[in-house]
Amino acid sequence: MLRGVGDMNHVKSKYIYLFFVITVLTTLVILGCSSRPNEAPVPQKPTINEEIQNQEPREEQEPIEKESDKDVSPPEADNPLESGNDPLESLEPTQPLPPASLSPALKSPIPILYYHSIDYEEGNELRVPPEEFEAHMEHLSQNGYESVTLDDLYQYFYAGKDLPEKAFVLTFDDGYEDNYIHAFPIAEKYGYSGTVFVVTEWIGGKGYLNRQQLLEMNQAGWQIESHTVTHPYLDSISTEQIKEELLTSKEVLEELLGKPKVAFAYPYGVYDSSIIELCRETGYKMGLTIDRGWAGPEDPFRMKRVYCYAQMGLDEFRRRVENANY
């Protein structure tokens, strides 16, 4: 009798062990199937707070200047272009410009507007609703403003090109897909074109411009320029890593679009004299900051821009595009 009970317990133990093994194997199979190793990762973008806190302050003061930026002489200017060539393509960075080209008194500053996303998101000032963006473009159009490219701006400052009396440059940072969905057709409606600074690792990622959209915008006269590969704080990585960010993003865009890429927007607005020098070494001709104000000819790597944000109001927008010292 006791032996029979022991046999039954032994059989039960075998079944329990077998059930445990089957459960473990089934779990491993499910986990293995769900890992999808070939799926492309969604690019990590900066948080809203990271981007917003680095934007130009809206109070009536200039952004605080970094210690490393003080008392730094402007780099030697680039050579003017021959007429008829791509405005930035054939420049030789080692050849200086005629002194007259560098005189701020001879070249009036130009507003470079900069946006990020043109879409809806409550509480996120980086996402300007399409209707508000259109109100900005409509105001510019009704008041005789004409958009010019960064190429035009460079030629104006350093090669004697004339610009319309009310010229402005339109730019977008990060390469959001809504730049194509909303900003592109709205700007085109008013005869305007712009420049998109893209983070090349994010191309084709969720919420970002893909290759075909970039090609279409470029073919319509928009410039596509570099905003690095991964959008890092450039002052927190090594010199070699900075070079890699600058060169690789440049090469990716040149291969995609078949044109030299020579304008660069500093991620988070972070730059100093050493970063500027690396931009020059890697073939860039212009560096766009988020420093408050209109762009002037004093330094092609410290171009100021006019921050445009959600719910800024048309009066504030008008104040910024009409007054160089707003």
3-state secondary structure 182-249: HHHHHHHHCCCCCEEEECHHHCCCCCECCHHHHHHHHHCCCEEEECCCCCCCHHHCCHHHHHHHHHHH
Dihedral sign for Cα atoms in the order 278, 77, 298, 253: negative
| pLDDT of 147 over the 90 cut | yes
- Three-state DSSP class for residue 92: coil
Angle, CA of 70, 71 and 72, to the nearest 5°: 90
Identify the pLDDT of residue 95.
Answer: 36
Alpha helix stretches (DSSP H) within the chain: 2-34, 48-53, 130-142, 150-158, 178, 184-189, 211-219, 239-257, 273-281, 314-322
Q: pLDDT, tens digit, for every residue of 102-127?
A: 444 469 999 999 999 999 999 999 99
Q: What is the reported pLDDT for 13?
A: 54
Q: Confidence class of residue 26 from pLDDT cuts 50, 70 and 90?
A: low
pLDDT at 15: 53
Task: Report the mean per-residue pLDDT for the chain.
Answer: 80
pLDDT digits (tens, 9 = 90+) for 31-81: 444 433 333 333 445 555 556 666 754 433 333 233 333 332 333 333 333
Backbone φ, ψ for residue 242 (5° rounding): -60, -45
The per-residue pLDDT for 54 is: 66
Which pLDDT band holds residue 19 (cuts at 50, 70, 90)?
A: low
Say which DSSP state 263 is in: E
The predicted-structure confidence for 206-221, as pLDDT tens digits, reads as follows 999 999 999 999 999 9
Instruction: Name the region of 268 (left: φ>0; alpha: ψ -120 to 50; beta: rest).
Output: left
pLDDT tens per residue across span 239-269: 999 999 999 999 999 999 999 999 999 999 9
CA 191 to chain centroid? 23
Q: Report whether 55 contacts 307 (CB < 8 A).
A: yes
CA atoms of 37 and 69, how far apart (whole Å):
45
The CA distance from 67 to 170, in Å, is: 30
Lowest mean pLDDT among 28-37, 70-79, 162-171, 295-304: 70-79
- How many CA atoms are closer than 13 Å to the CA of 220, on its beta-carbon side? 19
